Structure 1
Amino acid sequence: MKFAPFTGIDNHKKSITFGCVLLDHEDDDSFIWAFQQFLKAMGGKEPNYIISDQDAGIINAVPAVFKKARHRFCMWHIMKKVTDKVGSTICKETDFLSRLNNVVWSEDLEPEEFEENWAKVISEFSLEDNKWLTDKFAERDQWIPAYFRNVPMGNILKTTQRSESSNSFFKRFENKYGTLVEFWMRFESAMDQQRHNLKLLEAQSHNSMPETLFGSNWEAHAVKVYTHEVFFYFQKEVKFSVNACSVCGYTPPDPVTNFEVSIVEDANKRKRYAVEYNRRTMDVRCACKLFERKGILCNHIIWICSGKFKEIPEKYILRRWSKNAHLKPGL
């Protein structure tokens, strides 16, 4: 039987097992049953989206069970086929592959920008008649990051890499010649190790604090509320805000102020992002949409707002990244 774990990300940005199934067949009915049991185990709470390979049974089963969750295809599984589908010559002797990767993997592009850039690459290398590329473009809203920019936490996962790592983790406890009872005992041992590792991370987050480096009120607040791993991610955004950001334009508040934030990306290149701040509602949005995509405020917003508030506004601290995420379910 096939062993299939449901893998996600915990508040320490580590892989966590939500459940698992043993499947005798990989057909529509088997996956429908598996997803129904998973949904039942989760108390009817659907995930925002599900990532898998392009298995036909999964493709048919997801919409049959889930009414809100979006099904997303693993980008890695798709992109590893490019050389075979397009030809090794064009991939080895031109910069086609790097150009395509820059377009496909970019999280900064809006859908319209992605489509324009994709068309340029395809046209430049005369690949308009390649059926596989045409098919993948038709399915673009199921695997390209540009189409998940407005989905909550839509870009914290883009591939099934964590699932593959989870499979490797469980294989350490595997004995393919064992009985079902022995398998269950080994599975329980694996879960005990996962829980033990989580407890160590929980203890570390609650009983120690990483060093703050930039004298920022928001950095000092973040180290108290975020787990260590998430704090280090936030600290990088603070670093960029201090070292690379500047305001190059703004409109008077009415009550919304629109800022244009410039950031140094390398020695010869600067990029600008529009930040909108509403002083009446205290809402702030950035064109980069890092908060929407990953649940962490970007360096552009930190640069504009850290001087306006002593602490990170509560609405912009997602419980799923906090030290107390386990107290109750939710994002």
Structure 2
Amino acid sequence: MPDLPLPDARFADIPLGLALLVLALWLIATRRDRSAVIGFTAYGLLVAVVWVRLGAIDVALTEAALGGGLMGLLLLTAAARLGEPRGQPAPPMFMRLLVGLLCVGVTGVLAVVVLSLPTPAPNLVAAVAEHQHTTELGNPVAAVLVAFRAVDTLLESVVLALAVIVLWSFAPDAAWGERPRTLELGTPGPALVLLARLLPPLGLVVGVHLFWAGADDPGGPFQAGAVLAAMATLMWLARLGAPPPVQSRLTRVGLVVGPLVFLLIGLAGVVAADAFLGYPEGLTKPLILIIEAVKTLSVAVALALLVAGPPALPGNHLPSRAAS
């Protein structure tokens, strides 16, 4: 029997692209906040599949953890607190047409830019491959983030810590030092409690694996921290634990230890390697693993606290838009 030709794998991208387009249009058309958030979460998971098809596994992991996970939970919590709007008039037709035309214009400009790029498109792949061996890392994405663009990565860690501080500043004076209570959305169902008992041990293993494998394979501290934060948030939603109070010294140390250790190692590089964020020969990979370990902890703490919300007094919740 003759061998039948295998179908082109690219044909699988057609339904994926159509699903993204249909879901994006539905997100624009729906007027229910909760439905839009659920659709946004599904859209994030589909985008993660797109990144897998493009071979960007690190980006896919980040998109799945954030766009399809923590961000969806954050928006769903906000929608539950605010409630559905009542009596809110729809925007006038000319405004909707203007927004639509602007979106079409931006899409057209992006299409022209992408189609006008030379083949192959300009990139720094060759430069990274040439110098990657100096980092002792097998994952080029990790080499770029922790070595070649380490300043950017350091600043991203600082921004996460500052975002939590800004969020805490929204708390009233009387609630300072209390626990966040944004995730107290009622009595959890038995299915959620069961899930919160089963998933965290597995999530802990997956998070540690993503951190450790990220040096040579897809993964890294941000992806690992997002998974760990999701597990903590799941336990808080199921009332199997509670977010720590903002006055907890251990929480504050966990929030800043990543950027602080990153900065101290960078300053030590001025003496040991004649460059800020430079690594001495023979200690490059151990120092990078130390940076990524503490960064994983800080990312997990920061993302979990951002989802938990600002501290509040017992029994106090965010105002409901429906009630107002």
* TM value normalised by structure 2: 0.28
Structure with larger RCO (C-alpha < 8 A, sep 6+):
2
Larger fraction in helix: 2
* TM value normalised by structure 1: 0.27
